[in-house]
Amino acid sequence: MKLQLIISADSRYSFDRKQVRAGLEKTLNEQGVDGKVIISLSVVGERKIRELEKKYFNRDEVTDVLSFPLEEGVEMPTGTDGLNLGDIVVCYPQAKRQAMQWNKLIDDEIEFLACHGLLHLLGVHHD
């Protein structure tokens, strides 16, 4: 399997991209996804995640991760091939708070949240 992870270039937050990529690849393998997969990952601040919550979910709150599956019928950009799953957006300040709360490293929490978001893109949801 080949993962094409597109990480937002304008992210001002530093995190271990290799660790996140490895976690996403492991999750894809565990879910039986094979072939080329494209995922967009953005790590943003509280203002941006709140803006997305308001716009798409009508909630005025900060959350840790949001997933936006690619809608059926949307054309792939020219020159891309593979399964484009959609976008994952992680809130860095919230991830940092949670990492501190659970005595984890911030990179481990960002990896966890990205993988959690990926499961949502794959249709695995919690109640």
Q: What is the pTM of this model?
A: 0.88
> CA-based angle 112:92:45, to the nearest 5?
145
Domains and CATH numbers, the chain: 2-121 (3.40.390.30)
- Starting from the edge strand earliest in sequence, which strands make up the sheet with 36-44, in order? 2-7, 36-44, 83-91, 65-69
Q: What is the pLDDT of residues 22-73, one digit of tens each?
A: 999 999 999 998 888 889 999 999 999 999 999 999 999 999 999 999 865 4
Q: Mark 85-109 as b/e (b = at least 16 C-beta within 10 Å).
A: bbbbbbbbebbeebbeeeeeebbeb
Strand runs labelled E in the chain: 2-7, 36-44, 65-69, 83-91
Q: What is the pLDDT of residues 91-106, one digit of tens each?
A: 999 999 999 999 999 9
22 vs 35: CA distance, rounded Å: 16
CB 89 within 8 A of CB 69: no
**Strands 36-44, 2-7: pairing kind:** parallel
